[in-house]
Each structure stands twice: as structure tokens, then as C-alpha cells.
Amino acid sequence: MTNDSIKAGIIGAAGYTGGEMIRILLHHPKVEIDFCFSRSQSGKKIAEIHSDLFGDTELHFVNQINKNVDVVFLCVPHGDSNMFLENNPFSPETKIIDLSNDFRLKESSNGFIYGLPELNREEIKNSSRVANPGCFATAIQLALLPLAKDNLLDDDIHISAITGSTGAGVSLGETSHFTWRNNNLSVYKAFTHQHLEEIGESLAQLQPSFNKKINLIPYRGNFTRGIIATMYANFEGRQDDAEDLYKEFYEDEPFTFISDRMVDVKQVVNTNKCLLYLEKIDNKLMIVSVLDNLLKGASGQAVQNMNLMFGLDEREGLKLKPVAY
């Protein structure tokens, strides 16, 4: 690394999103990892916890921070970011990217810009504090924003979405044990998921008149990572009209693509992509959205935001290949 490398710190580096952050930044040509903070794993080698990184790094987890790093990523549970920043103030020059939901909503943003590049790219470029969107929120917003831009959301929205087990975090719980999760499927937080408010705010940003109900039924999937979300909206145009609308909206986006055939989770796992599939059925437009909940839904999008904040190519460090099989 050169002296002008971006010095990065990761808080909560032992978790799933923290591990993904380490993997990306180790191979990012413009970044040097300054510290990986974890109280529970302090002193241990990174590869002892993230075993796939054996041979890639000799870094250790630490329980102290460098307050003068160029950028810090908060990969901590919801509710912990605000408290951590209050107890551990960083230099005014340090850029902060939070992956929790502490600063996503306007009423609690505390100066953070909502970090969905496809919606707020220019604001992100000029910001020093970014609130990374939620994983379900990213998948659903990218599926609906083109309709909101043309004021086409005129009714309640109904969404069914399935996420992998990594969405529940690294700590074990009753519904994350293999014996419960394997060969199983279950609904959770129906109509009450914490990502609904940020989705509503983003849709209203493009369609100020939007005041309809967003009905989300989330499922726990029996796979490790990825999200597939299916929704529909009223649409009087033709299939070609819908495709033109979406392709124009995402024409210059490096990670969001419109597929002409049905999409699946394996196409996006281990990438920063979101793939969308559209199908006109009677007077409804069905939209299917797939992404990796740990990358475009978390750490990958955070690095995308970092690239924007530092004036780098948005795709830097994120040219990743899907697992495919």
C-alpha cells in the first residue's frame, strides 16, 4: 500500500458484515485496513474467526481504535452505533459509514445521508456520514423506485421476500440453528419489519404524493445468504413500456440490471449486484428482485458508498464473481 492509501477501521469486525468488509477491503487497491475492532475476539488472528481468510492476512482483532483513520465502518447491531460514536468520537475528518439502522430515518439521521447510491449518489459524494440501507430495503426500493419516479404507485404495495440465515447475524438464536433452519421455512415480522419506514421515505422522495401501505411478508430461508423479493403494482402500459422505464432509470448504474428472464439468488451471491425481472400480467406489473444480503444489502454497498465519498470509481474493489453453483 502507498502512503496515500485510504486508512480504514472496522467496528464489529468479527460478525458477518464485518467479515465481508474485511474480505473486500483486503483486495481493494486503494484501501489499507488500519484496525479491526472486536471486544469479544481481541487478540485473536482474523483468520481464526473468518477461517476463509487463512493465508490472506496476518491482522489481529483489537479492542482499541485509531480515531484519525480516513474512514470507519460500523458493522454493529442495531442500536449500538449511536452509543459507540458517543463513547468513541472520531476526528472531524474521518468519514463514517454506519451499517445499522440507527441513522437511516430522517427524524434520527443526525447528519447522516441515506446511502442508496441509485437514489442519493450526489449527496453521498459530498457527505462525510452515510447510513447504509437495510438489505430488504435495498432489494425492495430498487424494484420500486422507477415506478415512484413516474408517479405510478397508486395503490397499496404487497411484497413477499425471503432472506438467508446470515441476515439474522452471527449470534446463535432459536431460529438460526441448523436443525431448525434446514429444510424449513417460516414467516417473521409480518407487516412490522424495521425496514418499512426507510422504504416509505425513499419512495416518497421520488413520489411525494405516495402515502399507500407497504405490506411486507418476510420469510426466513433455509439457505445461507441472498434475498429474493417479489412484489406487484398496478401498471396500465405494456411489457415493453415497463422494461423501457426500468432500463432508462438504471441505464448508468454499475450494479443494478434488468434481466429479460427470471432471476435467481445464485446469480447474485458473492456480488454487489441487484438483478430485477419484470413481467406484465393483466393490469399488474410483477417485479422480482435478487441480491446478496451481505454485499449489495450491506458491506458491498458500504464500500460502494465509500468509493463515492472518496471520489473513486464506484466499482473499485467490487468486481466480484457470483458463486453460480
Summarised one tens digit per residue, pLDDT across range 43-96 is 999 999 999 999 999 999 999 999 999 999 999 988 899 999 999 999 999 999
pLDDT at position 173 over 80? no
Residues 232-277: pLDDT tens digits? 999 999 999 999 999 999 999 999 999 999 999 999 999 999 999 9
Q: Identify the burial level of 302 via C-beta atoms within 10 angstroms of its C-beta, where 0-12 means exposed, 13-18 middle and 19 or more buried.
A: buried
Do 262 and 206 meet the contact criterion of CB atoms below 8 Å apart?
Answer: no
Tell me, yes or no, if 135 is annotated catalytic: yes
Residue 174 — pLDDT band, cuts 50, 70, 90? confident
Task: Give the global pTM.
Answer: 0.95
Question: Domains of the chain, with CATH numbers?
Answer: 6-132+298-309 (3.40.50.720), 135-291 (3.30.360.10)
pLDDT tens track for 26-47: 999 999 999 999 999 999 999 9
pLDDT tens profile 68-83: 999 999 999 888 999 9
Our measurement of the distance from residue 187's CA atom to the centroid of its chain's CA atoms, rounded to an integer in Å, reads 21
Summarize pLDDT for 93-149 with one digit per residue, the tens: 999 999 999 999 999 999 999 999 999 999 999 999 999 999 999 999 999 999 999
pLDDT of 264: 97
Instruction: Kindly name the residue from 36, 75, 135, 274 that is annotated as catalytic.
Output: 135
Specify whether the CB–CB gap between 313 and 125 falls below 8 A.
Answer: no
Residue 182: pLDDT band (50, 70, 90) is: confident
Q: Tell me which of 74-88, 123-137, 178-192, 296-310 is least confident.
A: 178-192
pLDDT of the residue at 155: 96
Mean pLDDT, residues 205-230 taken together: 96
Query: What's the mean pLDDT in 161-183?
Result: 77
- Looking at the DSSP bridge assignments, the partners of residue 61 are 36
The DSSP-derived string for 5-45 is SEEEEEESTTSHHHHHHHHHHHT-TTEEEEEEE-TTTTTSB
Measured distance CA(51)–CA(280) in Å, rounded: 45
> Is the per-residue pLDDT at 1 higher than 60?
no
The answer to whether residues 137 and 225 touch, using CB atoms and an 8 Å cutoff, is no
User: In the chain, helix, strand, coil percent, each to 5?
Assistant: 30, 25, 50
